[in-house]
Amino acid sequence: MGNIVLDMMAGAATDRVASAGLPEAHREDGGPRHAIVVADRFAQFADGELVFTVSEFRRLVSAGGAASPDPGWVLRLGQGVEPGDLDTLKAAAGIDPAVGGLPVPPATVHKCRAENVLLAGLEQHSEVRCTADLRVHRDNELILDHNTGRHLSGLVIIEAMRQLCTAHFETSYRRALPAGDYAGIWHRMSLDFENFLFVLPAQVTCEIAEVDLGRKGHLRFRALTAVRQNNEDVASAEMQYSMVLRQRVDALERYRAAQAVRRHMATAVRAHDLGVEG
């Protein structure tokens, strides 16, 4: 089903390119044409003039519309463009990289799969402040089954904030703590959405407002986080969370899971008996 949807979107993109022709609005006098390229999955955002999908631009290349020589193209990378796409793009255009730095390793944000990491170019500015570029893989779990038109789901914003808080812990505090994995427990979030988040470059910020390091196996944090695009906040949040030794979390989970099962079964049996007697 996913391939069918992508094929349909790619067909619509082809029609846009054919009807729009070569864009002139974003060409400097005598200079190159400037455009943004995004993954095919984000075809609804591409307008075939200022924003192209990877497949659209490849079609322009194969048709000769984006070929050298002059005036050439300068492409700015939007979301979902992966290293495997760059060879084709670089063959026909200069690349102005919008997402700097390497993707954050999955373990640093407590994920298992690289495509579900939402951060790249992590920078530690101090023990209490860090930033990263938003990096949305075209197969990220949060966008595979969300129909949000031209913008990204609010779940992407929340998860990017969570990941940056986690990455900040792992890179700033983890080395001074006892051996063993830690898990995040999220207590409270006060979140303000101020704009749509589009599949353009964006930044995620985290600043620790309060920290309690008194218990090495259970650290508590209050962080101020934000996602910014075009130098404006898209969303901001105050997040309260703990980083706890995983063995403690596992023990607590087992205990509470057993409690939940017993309570559920007691309720179910009581309701069944009442139904039989009635």
pLDDT digits (tens, 9 = 90+) for 212-245: 999 999 999 999 999 999 999 999 999 999 999 9
Q: Choose the weakest-confidence range: 49-63, 71-85, 94-108, 250-264.
A: 94-108
Per-residue tokens: 36: 């943004």
To the nearest 10°, the Cα dihedral for 52, 82, 110, 174? -110
Q: What is the pLDDT of residue 85?
A: 86
Place of tokens 């200069």: 94
Cα→Cα distances 42→12, 96, 127, 224, 228, Å: 12, 20, 36, 30, 20
**Bridge partner list, 131:** 123, 205
Q: What is the pLDDT of residue 7?
A: 30
Assess whether pLDDT exceeds 90 at residue 10: no
E strand or H helix at 155? helix 154-172
Q: Which residues of 113-123 are buried (b: 16+ CB within 10 A; e: fewer)?
A: eebbbbbbbbe
Q: Which amino acid is at 176?
A: A
How far is Cα 134 from Cα 227, in angstroms, rounded to an integer? 8
Reply yes or no: is the peptide bond before residue 69 cis, omega within 30 of 0.
yes
* CB atoms inside a 10 Å sphere around CB 126: 9
E strand or H helix at 260? helix 246-277
Q: What is the pLDDT of residue 276?
A: 54
Say how many Å lie between the first and final Cα of the chain, rounded: 48
What is the overall mean pLDDT for the chain? Answer: 84
pTM of the entire structure?
0.83
pLDDT per residue as tens digits for the range 22-35: 444 455 566 788 89
Handedness of CA 5, 7, 11, 14 (dihedral sign): positive
Per-residue tokens: 94: 């200069």
pLDDT bin (cut points 50, 70, 90) of residue 11 is very low
Share of the chain above pLDDT 70, in %: 83
Contact criterion met (CB below 8 Å) for 137 and 116 = yes
**Could you tell me how many residues make up the chain?**
278
How far is Cα 247 from Cα 245, in angstroms, rounded to an integer? 6
Share of the chain above pLDDT 90, in %: 61
- When pLDDT is averaged across residues 195-210 and rounded to a whole number, the result is 97
Q: What is the pLDDT of residue 96?
A: 73
Assess whether pLDDT exceeds 90 at residue 272: no
Q: What is the pLDDT of residue 274?
A: 77
How far is Cα 38 from Cα 199, in angstroms, rounded to an integer? 7
- When pLDDT is averaged across residues 199-212 and rounded to a whole number, the result is 96
Q: What angle do CA 135, 106, 128 make, to 5 degrees?
A: 75
Assess whether pLDDT exceeds 60 at residue 16: no
Contact criterion met (CB below 8 Å) for 47 and 78 = no
Contact criterion met (CB below 8 Å) for 137 and 82 = yes
To the nearest 10°, the Cα dihedral for 128, 134, 135, 139? 110
Contact criterion met (CB below 8 Å) for 35 and 66 = no
How far is Cα 206 from Cα 160, in angstroms, rounded to an integer? 10
Distance of CA 174 to the CA centre of its chain: 23
- When pLDDT is averaged across residues 184-190 and rounded to a whole number, the result is 96
CA-wise closest residue to 137 among 150, 151, 119: 119
